[in-house]
Structure 1
């Protein structure tokens, strides 16, 4: 089985890059094709991989810049990758991976996080949501074209793998997929985190600073509460978000793996205000034995156990509305039950999502589909 891996980009340390890293661990001899790769910006384990970048590598030196150049340069850059020598192509991502050239009879498997967000859910981007009438009109023209192109290339994979039932349904709706979509939940590297016996007084957010992540909502809530909040991350809205924060909010970025593990282990709780397709960061907090205060929709429904009766048998406290008032109320409610959460139970819960399980499931799925593919080819 001659297999190639494809990833949108390797320019940060986020969930998509964790999935790509697990693909590499599952198939270590397979080359990884991507738009751009900057070793200092993503997981160091990629240095051991055979990574093949596009010509966009010479232009885009940061994740933000790569995203800004997606249309049309990112599309063209990925189309320059020729994978016609490979029997199997395993893709991961949302937008760019699907544009590589593949052989007509190759087995193509797409681990798709969600339909391309800019094309199918543009309201989640500040540039679109806050655009005036003229700019919105231009946006809509471009987005209609993007949806058409995205849909056409999304028909190529033989099989789709989704993260959750919710994201699988989005894929079916956007791309009119008729075949069953296998659900394999994304991984958390549990061994990268540890449980501290003496957490400190701050709450924690680890996130890209972008519109749909709703970090601004959390900033406003903690401005009102006055409690210490540590925000780890960077992104297109970084300056805007920093400008609205009061002195109780600390911003960090560029942390080492150990520094990030320390940040998780020593927080009181992890704050997750967005509606996320999946969300690996709440599981990372769980791996450190820390509970999560989350907006109770989307991916957290598949990864967290909300408080019902006994907090000792829960991993998270959910809030119902994506508002400052609802989050403030949840944080105050958390204070009343904080000591009843069980770090050992929370850590054990995270272990059910460990990368070893994910790697085994991906290997079994790909190898099983390849055997079917070979039988069909011979027939």
Structure 2
């Protein structure tokens, strides 16, 4: 049903009632636009696709001027001409897939964000879409927090440009492969060797990024990041989150958001991110792998666990790495596993018991 709804919403050929034509799907991912046909999947800047679609709409509206002056023609022209005259409340409710009158009960009526109609500049609009699966009360709290964030100067764009240029990655590479390379380049840029811990909050403070702790009363959300012109850059840590509620989980959540700040603000996530919300799967996979690798390099975890002789040795090694690098036991276990070093069977089995999904932890 989700796939059917997506096709019904994004296939332009569905607008040609009564005509038999091949599907042409168009959808948006941050600053990127996707065009999918039976022959190709084309990705470009969203503005290019939007400009083309608007020119088609203008041509149709011009033809309607010569059509019989009936009620449907007038309504179609009027709707097209007034397509941008939409209130902030309606925009946010539409992004959440909700009724505007319902969301108005929990959402503010006055927004600091003057670009709320432009998702590439509006963290509030972006976050509204990402919280569409959450109750309106929780989403409203998230949006109010973003709305209250002050704008700040930061030097992150310069670091972002340096990391992306040095990595020189093909974006068609698997998300985890991209993440490992970005994390490696980022640590080199900071002058950190493999055995040096990374302190995410300290680095964010140095970069001028606000870190704010809040209680959202919702376990599925670990963090919210915003970097629009008027709101942020800032990271809101949810102290009620599954992972962010612990000190080590908080570190990893911050590192996760650092990936989005460095890598995704130029295309997939130009304004905001809700960790645990409705975000592209590949983008989240990359951020999770980046966070793990930048906090604890796989080579370090693998080398340490390879020396463990038995279960008790594995437990000692995991605790030592966890305390030293500020990560959870599960991150240590997964990084040792991802290092692909040969582990003793008893050590491997003990690590397997430390992860939340042992079915994906196989020899």
Q: TM-score, normalised by structure 1?
A: 0.26
Larger Rg: 2
Higher-strand-fraction structure: 1
Q: TM-score, normalised by structure 2?
A: 0.27
